[in-house]
Amino acid sequence: MAFVTGYLHPAFFPFDRPERYSTDRHGRAKQATKEASYKLIDRIYEYLDRHLNGKEFVVGNRLTIADAYAFAMVRWGNSLPNGSTNYPNLDRFYHYWCEDSAVKRAMEQQHIH
């Protein structure tokens, strides 16, 4: 959980809230901050991709809250230019959870597509 809350989730902060990372309020500064965030997200995704090599779950051999949290963060990342497609283990993890009946139900209930 420390990795997901301390590294994975915060990697999206410059992308989601670029105005927090620059005193320049012009659109080009915000866009530059967003683009710079791709490198940070990429580094975190590479680490998580290596971690998931040969594993179904983030922690141990069972479903934990870390899987649900990581799934949500990877889902966010799929709005970025590369998404999870450049990370085979992360992409497998993402698609595995997309097909989970409980995840499908929860996403339906929350009107998430």
Instruction: Give the C-alpha separation, 85 to 67, whole Å.
Output: 18
**pLDDT for 22:** 83
DSSP letter, residue 17: -
Whether 70 contacts 89, CB under 8 Å: no
Section 13-29 average pLDDT: 87
Cβ neighbour number for residue 95 with a 10 Å cutoff: 11
Write down all domains in the chain, each with its CATH number in brackets.
2-109 (1.20.1050.10)
pLDDT in tens, 69-104: 999 999 999 888 778 999 999 999 999 999 999 999
What residue type is assigned to position 43 of the chain?
R
